[in-house]
Amino acid sequence: MDVADIAALHAEILQAAARIKGVAVRTPLLASAALDARVGARVFIKAENLQHAGSFKFRGAYNRLSQLVGAERRSGVVAWSSGNHAQGVALAARLLGMPAVIVMPADAPAVKIASTRALGADIRFYDRYTESREAIGDRLAADRGATLVPSFDDPHIIAGQGSCGLEIAEQARARGVALDALLVCCGGGGLVAGISAALHVESPATRVYSVEPADFDDLARSLVSGRRETNRADARSICDALLAPQPGEMTFAVNRQTLAGGLSVTDDEVRAAMRFAFAELKLVVEPGGAVALAALLAGRIDVAGTTVGIVISGGNVDPGLFAAIIEGA
């Protein structure tokens, strides 16, 4: 499949949705009177922090791994990840009875490391800023005869994440709602590519925007320039899940066709969004999972009087960091 063919990708998303049906959580599309009042719009929240292993990543991982058979399944998988893809792959591997090795940055949140280990995966650490996770992963996979499972630049991963977009379209229809816009977080771009491809077919009038941390706005700049821009090597953000250096090749081939634009938010806006989610939504949201809410609350696009969706993509956050943020630090 050529992911840049949006109709073909949509067909693949339908197949992915069938594969994960009854295995992944069909997460709720929530509403909040407090949020509506705050932003002057009708807002619907796709709560992927309520997905298995605490983020949307299980969708793509299970879609990919469930298609491995025979010797491939016995040899298992290798993945690199800052934490959420790690947990998604580890859980999918456990459910499917295959071994998994995960290459994780040494500074990944402790909760993500512990959770990945508890799910039965072997972990290999690397330095996020000096080592190449790709090189480590390639070598590990070659040594073990294992299948490498990319965190975003893979048609089956993108299609699996796209199942979240199908659900949004179905759940909006079931409520008699038409979404004018939808805001989705973006690291490597797999989630927003899958969701935007799904909505491109299911709800073509919905304008889909990516949201990135301010110093990791490679996709926003790439959408403007038309080529894959990179972030500065010294860029930092509390959004540990969204620190990709540049758009994926496949994800950008989708996103350049399907997105209405790219937004970005500061870490302080992310903290404010996490506090709002705690106080008003009663949801535990990790920094990277809060950027779409942050963009909405910060008024990055004019939503007055419209109907808008946001994706909360994950809730895997260390208690110490969460405590500091809700107490206003």
Contact flags string 279-298 toward a second copy, x per CB under 8 A? xxxxxxx-------------
Smallest distance, a second copy to C-beta of residue 315, A: 3
If binding is defined by CB under 8 A, does position 328 make contact with a second copy? yes
Which residue from 49, 210, 222, 313 is in contact with a second copy, where contact means CB under 8 A?
Answer: 49
Which two three-digit tokens encode residue 219? 């996709």
The Cα–Cα gap between 237 and 215 comes to 7
* Closest to a second copy by CB, 216 or 322: 322
Tokens linked to 274: 């996490």
- Report how far apart the first and last C-alpha atoms of the chain are (Å, whole number): 47
Near a second copy by CB under 8 A: residue from 16, 41, 50, 185: 50
In order of 68, 188, 274, the CA distances from 282 in angstroms are 38, 28, 10
Contact flag: residue 31 with a second copy (CB under 8 A): yes
Report whether 95 contacts 52 (CB < 8 A): no
Burial label for 261, CB within 10 Å (0-12, 13-18, 19+), is middle
DSSP code string of 286-303: -GGGGHHHHHHHTTSS--
Q: How far apart are CA 277 and CA 279, in angstroms?
A: 6
* 141 contacts 68 by C-beta, under 8 angstroms: no
Token pair of 279 as six digits: 């106080």
Number of residues that bind a second copy (CB under 8 A): 30
In this structure, what are the phi and psi dihedrals at residue 177, rounded to the nearest 5 degrees?
-110, 140
Nearer to a second copy, 122 or 280 (CB): 280
**Residue with Cβ nearer a second copy (100 or 223):** 100
Q: Is 300 in the site for a second copy (CB under 8 A)?
A: no
Q: Which stretch binds a second copy (CB under 8 A): 45-53, 72-80, 124-132, 297-305?
A: 45-53
Binding mask 83-122 toward a second copy (x if CB under 8 A, else -) reads --------x-------------------x-----------
- Where b means 16+ CB within 10 Å and e means fewer, 39-61 reads bebbbbbbbbbbbbbbbbbbbbb
| φ and ψ at residue 126, rounded to 5 degrees | -145, 165
Q: Give min distance, CB of 264 to a second copy, in A.
A: 25
Supply the minimum distance, in Å, between the C-beta of residue 106 and a second copy: 22
Q: Which stretch binds a second copy (CB under 8 A): 27-35, 72-80, 186-194, 232-240?
A: 27-35
User: In the complex with a second copy, which residue's Cβ is closer, 57 or 221?
Assistant: 57
Q: Where on the chain is the footprint of a second copy (CB under 8 A)? A: 25, 28, 30-31, 33-34, 49-50, 52, 54, 91, 111, 275, 278-285, 315, 319-320, 322-324, 326-328
